[in-house]
Amino acid sequence: MKQLKLFLEGIPENFSIIDQSARETLLENLGKSFPETLDALINATYTIYYSHPAILSTISENTGYSTTAPQPNGYVLKPFDERLLKKSKERSPMWRDPR
């Protein structure tokens, strides 16, 4: 939490109105001093952005990709082919019996 506070203290109040090049330089420098903090903020930003209903709707409309959660309904899967397990079933156990 202390790292986040120090990181945020390095961002000036006029950050949103300074030119893009200056913002990029500022964030690059802060990222060198606080790489984990910048990574966490980038990750949080992407998570928030891509979970927003308007963004999910746009993704679905433009790609046809379902943006609903895979559970509880799940995705439709092809029936499982048991033949894929043939070699594994023929192998002897690869572990020791703990008893």
Its sign, for the CA torsion 4, 9, 15, 18, is negative
The residue range of the domain holding 26 is: 2-66
Q: Which residue has the tokens 């092809």?
A: 78
Tell me, yes or no, whether 51 lies in a domain.
yes
Tell me, yes or no, whether 24 lies in a domain.
yes
Answer yes or no: pTM beyond 0.85.
no
**CB–CB of 34/6 below 8 Å?**
yes
Tell me, yes or no, whether 31 lies in a domain.
yes
Give the Cβ contact number of residue 81 at 10 Å.
8
The gap from C-alpha 48 to its chain's centroid, in whole angstroms, comes to: 10
Tell me, yes or no, whether 95 lies in a domain.
no
Tell me, yes or no, whether 14 lies in a domain.
yes
Tell me, yes or no, whether 26 lies in a domain.
yes
* d(C-alpha 18, C-alpha 26), whole Å: 10
What's the confidence (pLDDT) of residue 1?
82
Q: How many domains does the chain have?
A: 1
Torsion of CA 70, 71, 74, 75, to 10 degrees: 0
What's the confidence (pLDDT) of residue 94?
82
Number of helical H runs and strand E runs in the chain = 5, 0
Tell me, yes or no, whether 60 lies in a domain.
yes
Question: Which DSSP symbol is given to 83?
Answer: G
pLDDT averaged over consecutive 10-residue blocks of the chain (99 residues)? 92 94 95 95 95 93 85 78 92 82
Tell me, yes or no, whether 99 lies in a domain.
no
